[in-house]
Structure 1
Amino acid sequence: MGQAVGVEVGLADVPALERGVALLGSGGGGDTVTAAALLRGRLAAGDRNALTPLGELARDAQVVPIGVIGATAVFAEKLPSGAEFRDAIAAVERWTGRRTDALVSIEVGGLNGIVPLVVGGQLGLPVADADLSGRGVPRLDQLSVAAAGKGLTPLVLAEPGGQVLVLAEATAAEVERTARAFLAGAGGWAVLVLAPIPAAELADCAIPDTVSSALSLGRQALSADAEALAATTGGRVLGSGRVVEVSRRPGPGKHGRTGFARGSATVRDHRSRTLIRLEMENEYLFAMRDGEPVASTPDVLALLDHRTGVPIPCDVVRRGVEVAVLQLPAAPFWTDPRHLPVLAPRAFGIDCDPVLEVRR
């Protein structure tokens, strides 16, 4: 196997990476602050983090998708020891008989845009400049490998208490249900590791260049306001104003199971005096202006604090805060008609076609 050439991510890059992955979380994705602190700690301790484009990995390199799932808000209260990641990777290696050559994030949006770099530095493994979502997604059956028809099993779940579960065979929907059941007894979160994927195959079912793109996006966001950020990224600002209403409600369940919590946040635009309503689940999913659809998933929707520019997650948005409503273009993978239904509004129970007005 050839040696891949890596680009190091250093301490000076962490603030930009954190801001970029927070934006791509679309209001979800978990606690980037704690993930960034973990990365800073590992870098300060001397870890080296190599970020490698997919095309620079040997075609037969075995790339392991990795991430954290569950109630990631608990992540800050119940920090990983590091053993969870080692145990999960070791288990998938034993089950498949293949050795891990590199890691790739399951989700660039939120804390999972950072966690693989922490693990890669700890284990001395390069991290592919790619991920399996291109943004924040709430369900495992919405990862790009599932959308591309590759499947998710075999996979491993490892929780902080030491329990490790190998799921040998299941549909993507069954994987999602099994993982949620496992999390109920896992203390809130768990490590997810998928079986190694040869780099040559990963190119067809992953979204390339997303970690470096998040880093670039974060650099721009740290040095520009929302209007300038939209202009340089092919996005747009839907409006700026005060959050005048936030409502939350139980989500629609399936087969007797409770769904994710749903809700909405309404912003009164200062200039037009129109009302911009954002429908949200784990992420911001759909935007209307005075009742007319103006933006939707799979584009990334974000609320930025007017004073600091920091993205405001769905679970903490509140009345009275001044915000800008930002729309960023989806990765081309998700605008492909073969994959679009997986993240379109109807995939979340919103009876509307996708509204993808942003163009590169």
Structure 2
Amino acid sequence: MRIGLPDVPALERGVSLLGSGGGGDTVTAAALLRNRLAAGHPMAVIPTPELAADAQVVPIGVIGAAAVFAEKLPSGAEFGAAVAAIERWTGRVADAVISIEVGGLNGVLPLVAAGQLGLAGVDADLSGRGVPRLDQLSVAAAGSGLAPAVLAEPGGQVLVLAEGTPAEVERSARAFLASSGGWAVLALAPIPAGQLPDCAILDTVSAALSLGRRALAVGERPGAEELAAATGGQVLGLGRVVEVSRRPGPREHGRTGFARGSVTVRDHRTRSLLRLEMENEYLLAMRDGEPVASTPDVLAVLDRRTGVPIPCDVVRQGVEVTVLRLPAAEFWTDPRRLPVLEPRAFGIDCDPILLGVPR
């Protein structure tokens, strides 16, 4: 699959929807991709079955504070430094790269990096949506672990995390980010392409592009039900944001975790109150106190006039919104993996409520 300039708006819309309110600045990421394509550099994404089984695929992506990333743009050397370091450490040469997360800016930036590095980009990722923690990536959920892992930050520091459980890698990475530039490029050990069906979510770049095309095809002022039908989702609410509450997250190991919050929407159709619990992403929807949708389904808050997704960190009181639910990737509905992204994984005492899955 080739990606050209006309595809960028649809890809950006698709990955922003899959971010579930998180995932970082897709507009900046799309601009970087657009600049590369405009300069005459072709962009191709290869389906997993077309790779040799022993092809070495390196997972890459940006982690850290999205706001800092937008203010402190990459030089272009970070991805190369991270991939080179993981190659040296493992003794294996990368043949291709795969994104750690299709939701948000990591649905786009690894494609830019693939072109810069002269490597193939793979039509798959390690999340199928936006996820907040490294220990929630699909490789960790499949039992493959994360170490060794490399972090390359914009100031030039490169850190190798040689060993550790997924939770330990997550904690060490956050500590590094707090003491460096606020964001870094992550590279994980190469995965043989033949193993990707067991530990990755396949065809997600093409799925994000298709999702974005269908969402944009509804028009500039999309109706809620038309948008849901086009994207294969469900309308949870349609109305005005009447309250946004933000608070510190739970403390873990003596350190404050990700910030928490909630968004309350008064539904114009039913006069009910729809409350969304959020962390880095929207996690749970409750209608008049009754849970109606949850992670790992994708919960998206869209500007009612334009259909543009509104991230958790910028949603505000007074805006008119459509709240949409999109189905989770099948990888996460497997009972063996569901606990990694269900509400209780975020400290919310609620069973998962998934689209199309009986309660």
Aligned residue runs from structure 1 range 1-360, under 5 A: 7-224=1-218, 225=222, 226-358=224-356
Deviation at 1:30, TM superposition (A): 0.2
8 Å CA contact 1:27, 1:284 repeated in 2: yes
Q: Secondary structure of the residue that 1:308 maps to in structure 2?
A: coil
User: What's the TM-score, normalizing by structure 1?
Assistant: 0.97
Gaps of 5+ in 2: none
Deviation at 1:357, TM superposition (A): 3.2
Question: What CA distance in whole angstroms lies between the structure 1 residues aligned with 2:230 and 2:26?
Answer: 23
8 Å CA contact 1:235, 1:358 repeated in 2: no
Question: What CA distance in whole angstroms lies between the structure 1 residues aligned with 2:282 and 2:261?
Answer: 9
Query: What is the number of equivalent residue pairs in this alignment?
Result: 354
Question: What CA distance in whole angstroms lies between the structure 1 residues aligned with 2:281 and 2:273?
Answer: 20
In structure 2, give the amino acid aligned to 1:53.
P
Range moving further from structure 2, 103-112 or 7-16: 7-16
Q: Secondary structure of the residue that 1:222 maps to in structure 2?
A: helix
Range moving further from structure 2, 134-143 or 73-82: 73-82
The list of structure 1 runs, each at least 4 consecutive aligned residues, that deviate by more than 4 angstroms after superposition, is none
8 Å CA contact 2:215, 2:231 repeated in 1: no
Question: What CA distance in whole angstroms lies between the structure 2 residues aligned with 1:193 and 1:358?
Answer: 35
User: What's the TM-score, normalizing by structure 2?
Assistant: 0.97
> Residues 256-305 of structure 1, C-alpha deviation per residue, up to 9 Å, x if partnerless?
11010000000000010000000000000000000000000000000000
In structure 2, give the amino acid aligned to 1:50.
A
Q: Secondary structure of the residue that 1:260 maps to in structure 2?
A: coil
Deviation at 1:49, TM superposition (A): 1.3
In structure 2, give the amino acid aligned to 1:119.
A
Gaps of 5+ in 1: 1-6
Question: What CA distance in whole angstroms lies between the structure 1 residues aligned with 2:40 and 2:144?
Answer: 37
* Percentage of identical aligned residues: 80
Q: Secondary structure of the residue that 2:45 maps to in structure 1?
A: strand
8 Å CA contact 2:275, 2:286 repeated in 1: yes
In structure 2, give the amino acid aligned to 1:253.
R
Question: What CA distance in whole angstroms lies between the structure 2 residues aligned with 1:125 and 1:229?
Answer: 36
Coordinate RMSD, CA, aligned: 1.1
Deviation at 1:35, TM superposition (A): 0.3
Deviation at 1:229, TM superposition (A): 2.8
Q: Secondary structure of the residue that 1:153 maps to in structure 2?
A: coil
Question: What CA distance in whole angstroms lies between the structure 2 residues aligned with 1:47 and 1:164?
Answer: 28
Question: What CA distance in whole angstroms lies between the structure 2 residues aligned with 1:80 and 1:134?
Answer: 24
> Residues 303-336 of structure 1, C-alpha deviation per residue, up to 9 Å, x if partnerless?
0001111000000000000000000000000000
